[in-house]
Amino acid sequence: MASTLLRTSPVIRGALRASGAIKPAVGIASTTFVRGKATLPDLKYDYGALEPHISGKIMELHHKKHHQTYVTGLNTALETIAEAESKGDFTKAASVAPLLNFHGGGHLNHSLFWENLAPASREGGGEPSGVLKTAINEDFGSFDTFRKQMNTALAGIQGSGWAWLVKDKQSGTLGLVTRANQDPVTGQYVPLLGIDAWEHAYYLQYENRKAEYFEAIWNVINWKTVGSRFEKA
């Protein structure tokens, strides 16, 4: 299955494996033959732990229902492609590739997103520290300027999508990118902090006031995770 994904979409496969979103089956890890199957990751906090900034009901639905749908869709797409390829039906396999991008991206993006959040009563919110703080100041001028630019990018997304703080692997500098739907951040950019701008991420609580959601989420950003990703990138 994983070898099929390797041939079909090396970018998606690499991103998923690097994030740990696809785990090798127990017993055959570290071999060249790996059966990858996506699973829903556990959260490191309770659904209600991000309140009042993100409601427990949103978190529960977002994780248990929406993310699970991407996990299921990814595994189904992988199985469909493997079956089509085994029959030599490459037209069928190719037709499923967009689903692999959508569900694979959805699984990857949400896996990164949950780790980007933390309860405000613990390490959530505030401002970054250390080398990440220095880099943000150098590349954006100040933390406040960065935050405003990120919110502007989020507000500018038409329909569904994500905004990301990324590190450019070539230049080593920070930047902001947006992605439509569930397109993952790939190539020269390493995703450090992603904010989900899909309606399912805020509508139950904020309805059409998405700017309020974009303001509130800064109270639960886990800068420790973002800093760690920056230093490893």
Q: Candidates 33-41, 132-140, 193-201, 217-225 — which segment interacts with Fe ion by CB under 5 A?
A: 193-201
Total residues interacting with Fe ion, rule: CB under 5 A: 3
CB-closest chain residue to Fe ion: 196
Shortest Å distance, C-beta 135 to Fe ion? 27
Shortest Å distance, C-beta 182 to Fe ion? 8
Cα-Cα end-to-end distance for the chain: 28
**Strand residue runs (E) in 47-202:** 161-168, 174-180, 189-196
Q: Closest Cα to residue 198, out of 118, 124, 109?
A: 109
Query: Which is closer to Fe ion, CB of 115 or CB of 196?
Result: 196
Q: Candidates 69-77, 127-135, 154-162, 196-204 — which segment interacts with Fe ion by CB under 5 A?
A: 196-204
Place of tokens 């967009």: 98
Q: Closest Cα to residue 233, out of 196, 161, 185, 195?
A: 185
For the chain, what is the radius of gyration of the CA atoms? Answer: 18
Place of tokens 């999508």: 161
Shortest Å distance, C-beta 94 to Fe ion? 27
Alpha-carbon distances of 114 from 50, 146, 158, 181, rounded to whole Å: 11, 21, 23, 18
| CB neighbours of residue 11 within 10 Å | 12
Query: Which is closer to Fe ion, CB of 67 or CB of 229?
Result: 67
CB 4 within 8 A of CB 85: yes
Window 201-230: contact mask with Fe ion (x via CB under 5 A): x-----------------------------
Q: Closest Cα to residue 190, out of 15, 17, 67, 9?
A: 15
Task: Confirm whether residue 196 is marked as ligand binding.
Answer: yes
Burial annotation 57-94 (CB, 10 A radius, 16+ → b, else e): ebbebbbeebbeebbebbbebbebbbebbeeeeeeebe
Shortest Å distance, C-beta 144 to Fe ion? 26
Task: Confirm whether residue 62 is marked as ligand binding.
Answer: yes
Shortest Å distance, C-beta 62 to Fe ion? 6
Q: Which of 198, 202, 213, 214 binds Fe ion (CB under 5 A)?
A: 198
Query: Which is closer to Fe ion, CB of 85 or CB of 199?
Result: 199
Q: Candidates 84-92, 155-163, 187-195, 197-205 — which segment interacts with Fe ion by CB under 5 A?
A: 197-205
Q: Can residue 196 be called a binding residue for Fe ion (CB under 5 A)?
A: yes
Shortest Å distance, C-beta 84 to Fe ion? 29
Task: Confirm whether residue 200 is marked as ligand binding.
Answer: yes
Annotated binding-site residues for Mn(2+) read 62, 110, 196, 200
Annotated binding-site residues read 62, 110, 196, 200
Q: Which residues sit at the interface with Fe ion, rule CB under 5 A?
A: 196, 198, 201
